[in-house]
Structure 1
Amino acid sequence: MAPRQSKTAKRSAGQNKTRTVDSEVTSDSLARNLLSDKPKLTPKSTKRTLSKEKVKKQQAKLRLYGAKNGKEYNEKQLDIPTLNKAIIPGVKVKSGKKGKKFVDDKDSLTLNLLVKSINDKYDQVNESKLEKSRRLEEIRELRRKEMDRKEEAKKSKLEDKKNEIRSKASVARSNRRKNAKSRQDDEEASEEPKKKKKSVSFA
């Protein structure tokens, strides 16, 4: 009886039967180049190879500046102050659109002034001197009214602040009086039992 064959031996015997031989022409690039009539047997690499000089330059840059993380910021994004400009501590510079004014819907005075001043350049195309003077007078009047209103608003704000300070002062004064009165009462209460003490004398 023949000896029993192991599984690994069987597997290796089976594998040996299915061996294939690949030609060097398809696998080796040098062999491919030797065939002049068949130049494109293996696909050419799409990756671009850098020259030795460029590689050296890149390595020098990496040594000097370090590797980039992919993000690049400009001066505006970094908020770098411009040269020869004094930086005032505690003052925040406003950024964004300038000259933007928001007017209330009920504020007719400011709206009229805006309309008159906007239409100013279109109206002066063909108008007489009398019309022009009248229009300018209207604009001046509106400006005067606006200035008066601003002054009134300032005065009212000041008065409100004064009243607030006065009320605070009166509250503080009344508190001081109450504290003083309570202190006086405490002192009087502590003095009374001392007076009432009787002295006993022995004969």
Structure 2
Amino acid sequence: MTTGPVRRSAVLVAVGLLGALLPSGPAAAVPRTPVTAPHSPGPATTATTVTLVTGDKVTVTDLGHGKKAVTVQRPKGATGAVRTQRSAGEISVVPDEALPYLRAGTLDRRLFDVSGLIRQGLTDARAAATPLIVTYGRSARAAPPAGTEQTRSLPSLRGAAVEAGKGRTFWRSSPTATASTRCGWTAG
């Protein structure tokens, strides 16, 4: 074991290096704040809600850079799931309970085109009702379905232009449940 000048030199070199690496004087007493890039807020998010004729509330949130988040709030009494489809920037949301009517042709698919509804200003913030055209077959009674208000008679179509409230009353009245009633879209 060495205890002479070599060990003393090694200790002095270590202390010298440590002293050179540590700050001294008044600057040593000032706490350092990490340097970060200036905070730039992310893109502003814009949320738009549309209520479908089924009573489902669909909220589309623009996240910026072409990205959108879609959430669906199901109404009380709704059954099944919802199918969200995105194609070429367009969003549609179809509840399972609407599928049989869409397949039978008694319900217009555009009623579930969320992007189209937003473009036409039929958001919950701007419109209290959804404009529809209801047509009746020969055996159906020509009366506006529950949850709607007739805005115009369309005798040549054996139907009416109606406005469906944003709740689920219209859907529960099931105008599409009979093969002799059709529910379609009108451009307000």
TM-score interval (norm. to shorter): under 0.3
- Asked which structure has the greater RCO (Cα within 8 Å, sep 6+), the reply is 2
- TM-score of the pair, normalised by structure 1: 0.23
- TM-score of the pair, normalised by structure 2: 0.24
Larger Cα-atom Rg: 1
